[in-house]
């Protein structure tokens, strides 16, 4: 009787989180929880606190509240693809310091708060494909410095924030196809970044233009800079802000790039399908350039040569101005010295003349005094 009582007490004292939710299948050896396709409307409770992999795709989850995964602080792989998520709290991922992969693909996201990924510093894979994102905040780039894959495909992106891109120093692959890219002045920064990124060995699928009409269905990577000549000449500040990209562009001549598709995220064998499709998402590129349209016909002048000409002309003009300034200083100094010399010479001549006059007077007086004597 005592043994039975002890067993009952122990079962009551054991944390309820040690059991596997009835809606899921748990793999204790892999510390993985599979809750796919269970018709769930919320994150299941009573999850084991040492869970490393949590698969919640193909459910009906509509939103993620604050600290939605507080029961699984050590989770590394989190798949929420193919749900109905339209809202995500800025603190939804709070506490997930070990999170490496997350998929929010195939949901109804329109925007993401810049604070969402703040607590996550080890993230390497982010899949936001097949949503309705209009943009990603540039400040989010601080949380993505270790990212190796970013999926932003099939959203509603027309631009991408440059500060976000420049923060992705470890990015290996980028999926951005299927977005309504507007290939105008403000997309030149993306083109410049893409060329440098590809030169360093990065992989990107395509940036296919949908606007303006003359650029429709053209890949931004293959559009010559001459077509953007009118846009770029409207802002020299913008042009020279990107001058450091010219060397990379020169090195890229003769370097060909093909279209590459990003492989799907890997999920360990035995836990079923992996993360959802190739990623999407993006960000609005906030710029101050006018909404000018690129020229339909390319100009014969090469933009790189024009920039080099402007720089060389500026250097030559600067040298000429310095030479003119030096000549003016030298001329003024020479004139001052010569004026002083002339004054001294005139003064000496007047003194010599005065002395000569004194001698002449003395010579005239001497014979007269002798004669009188």
User: Tens digit of pLDDT for each residue in 306-322?
Assistant: 787 888 888 888 899 98
User: Does residue 146 have a pLDDT over 70?
Assistant: yes
Distance in angstroms (rounded) separating the CA atoms of residues 173 and 159:
18
Burial of 18 (0-12, 13-18, 19+ CB in 10 A): exposed
Question: What tokens were used for 51?
Answer: 């869970």
Residue 305 lies in a domain: no
Which stretches within the chain are classed as H helix? Answer: 2-13, 162-166, 188-199, 229-232, 236-241, 245-252, 303-372
First to last CA, the chain: 171
Residue 220 lies in a domain: yes
Residue 343 lies in a domain: no
Furthest C-alpha separation in the chain: 171
47: phi then psi, degrees, rounded to nearest 5: -80, 145
112 or 296, greater pLDDT? 112
161 neighbors 136 (Cβ within 8 angstroms): yes
User: Does residue 173 have a pLDDT over 60?
Assistant: yes
Distance in angstroms (rounded) separating the CA atoms of residues 282 and 152:
6
Distance in angstroms (rounded) separating the CA atoms of residues 269 and 277:
18
Q: Among the ranges 80-94, 194-208, 324-338, which has the highest mean pLDDT value? A: 80-94
Tell me which of 15-29, 64-78, 149-163 is least confident: 15-29
**Residue 225 is part of a domain; what is its CATH number?**
3.80.10.10
Tell me which residue range forms the domain holding 29: 23-300
192 or 73, greater pLDDT? 73
What pLDDT was estimated at residue 34?
Answer: 95
User: Does residue 369 have a pLDDT over 90?
Assistant: no
Distance in angstroms (rounded) separating the CA atoms of residues 215 and 5:
78
Instruction: With CA atoms as reference, report the closest residue to 261 among 204, 194, 209, 208.
Output: 204
* Cα 191–Cα 196–Cα 201 angle in degrees, nearest 5: 120
- Which residues, including other chains, have CB under 8 Å from residue 67's CB and lie 6 or more apart? 91, 92, 94, 95
Residue 319 lies in a domain: no
Residue 64 lies in a domain: yes
User: Does residue 115 have a pLDDT over 80?
Assistant: yes
CA distance readout (Å), 318 to 39, 164, 208, 311, 324: 72, 37, 43, 11, 10
User: Does residue 95 have a pLDDT over 50?
Assistant: yes
Which residue bears the tokens 């005139």? 346
Domains held by the chain: number: 1
User: Does residue 361 have a pLDDT over 90?
Assistant: no
189 or 112, greater pLDDT? 112
User: Does residue 264 have a pLDDT over 60?
Assistant: no
187 or 279, greater pLDDT? 187
Residue 236 lies in a domain: yes
Residue 109 lies in a domain: yes
240 or 31, greater pLDDT? 31
What pLDDT was estimated at residue 220?
Answer: 83
Query: How much is the mean pLDDT over the chain?
Result: 77
Give per-residue pLDDT as tens, 197-243: 888 898 998 889 888 887 888 888 887 766 666 665 544 444 444 55
Residue 154 lies in a domain: yes
């Amino acid at each position: 009787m005592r043994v039975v009582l002890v067993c009952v007490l122990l079962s009551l004292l054991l944390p309820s989180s040690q059991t596997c939710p009835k809606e899921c299948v748990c793999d204790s050896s892999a510390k993985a929880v599979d809750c796919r396709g269970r018709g769930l409307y919320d994150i299941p409770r009573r999850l084991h606190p040492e869970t490393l992999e949590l698969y919640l795709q193909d459910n009906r989850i509509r939103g993620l509240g604050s600290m939605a995964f507080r029961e699984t602080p050590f989770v590394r792989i989190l798949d929420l693809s193919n749900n109905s998520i339209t809202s995500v709290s800025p603190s939804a991922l709070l506490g997930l310091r070990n999170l490496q992969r997350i998929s929010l693909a195939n949901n109804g996201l329109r925007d993401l708060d810049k604070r969402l990924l703040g607590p996550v510093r080890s993230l390497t894979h982010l899949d936001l494909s097949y949503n309705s994102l209009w943009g990603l905040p540039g400040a989010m780039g601080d949380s993505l410095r270790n990212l190796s894959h970013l999926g932003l495909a099939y959203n509603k992106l027309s631009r991408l924030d440059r500060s976000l891109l420049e923060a992705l120093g470890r990015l290996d692959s980028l999926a951005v196809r299927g977005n309504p890219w507007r290939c105008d002045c403000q997309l030149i920064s993306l083109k410049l970044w893409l060329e440098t990124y590809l030169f360093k060995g990065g992989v990107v699928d395509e940036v296919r233009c949908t606007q303006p009409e003359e650029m429709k269905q053209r890949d931004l990577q293959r559009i010559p800079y001459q077509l953007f000549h009118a846009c770029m000449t409207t802002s020299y500040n913008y042009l020279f802000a990107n001058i450091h990209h010219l060397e990379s562009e020169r090195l890229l001549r003769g370097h060909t790039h093909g279209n590459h598709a990003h492989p799907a995220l890997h999920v360990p064998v035995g836990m079923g399908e992996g993360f959802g499709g190739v990623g999407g998402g993006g960000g609005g590129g906030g710029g101050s350039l006018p909404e000018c349209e690129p020229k339909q016909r390319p100009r014969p002048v090469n933009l790189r040569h024009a920039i080099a000409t402007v720089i060389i002309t500026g250097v030559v003009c600067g040298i000429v101005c310095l030479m003119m300034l030096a000549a003016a200083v030298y001329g003024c100094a020479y004139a001052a010295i010569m004026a002083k010399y002339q004054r001294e010479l005139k003064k000496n001549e007047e003194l010599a003349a005065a002395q000569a006059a004194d001698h002449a007077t003395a010579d005239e007086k001497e014979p007269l005094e002798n004669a009188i004597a």
